[in-house]
Amino acid sequence: MHMRFSAALVPLIFAGAAVALPGVQTTDVIKRHRLMLQIRDASTTLVAMARGETVFDADRAARLAGLLREDAAAIPIHFEFQNSDPDSRARPEVWADWTGFEKAAARSEAAAAALQTEAPEPLRRGIEALQRTCQNCHRRYRFGK
Ligand code: HEC
């Protein structure tokens, strides 16, 4: 199953659609930052559960893993438009090497889909693999660390 638009994301994606031309690019940047923050929050919560820092809840872990997978699948659509917003840390390589960027997103999606959420230890290993896919994309396509 391949879902490009999760129900949760549709409002994020289209929230700025009615905005007139000025500011549209910035709206895109806000939306993709929001997507990344949602991705970060879901992975942080899973890491805490996997390490025993918070109570392990397999149902919650499964829901968050599903959200991560949908969000990772939605990364490319959030970067469709190139812009030069000063608040953006996206490198021009995102658009110069769009195929590579899509592949990097697909690797994150696959790592999220492979997460095993029934027990802390396998979850921990899966999250580590997922985080490597984040870093790989950031290293190539994002300014800074
Ligand atoms: C396919 C590439 C790609 C993948 C995969 C990816 N990111 Fe990102 N991420 C980016 C880019 C590019 C930016 C910079 C966006 C901008 O500033 O416009 C970014 C920005 C961020 C930010 C900063 C948001 C802000 O408000 O400044 C966080 C946090 C983040 N990513 C977390 C993650 C995590 C966690 C994962 C993995 C679970 C992940 N990302 C996977 C490309 C990716």
pLDDT (tens digit, 9 = 90+) per residue, 80-122? Answer: 998 778 889 999 999 999 999 999 999 999 999 999 999 999 9
* Confidence band for 145, pLDDT divided at 50, 70 and 90: low
Dist CA 11 CA 8 (whole Å): 7
- Neighbouring CB atoms inside 10 A of 7's CB total 8
| pLDDT computed for residue 26 by the predictor | 79
- Neighbouring CB atoms inside 10 A of 99's CB total 7
Compute, in angstroms, the gap from residue 113 CA to the centroid of ligand 1.
Answer: 18
| pLDDT computed for residue 25 by the predictor | 65
Q: Under the phi-then-psi rule, with left for phi > 0, alpha for psi from -120 to 50, and beta for the rest, what region is 100?
A: alpha
Check whether 53 has a pLDDT greater than 60: yes
Check whether 33 has a pLDDT greater than 70: yes
Pocket, ligand 1, Cβ cutoff 6 A: 29, 32-33, 36-37, 39-40, 43, 75, 88-90, 94, 101, 104-105, 108, 130, 133-134, 137-138, 141-142
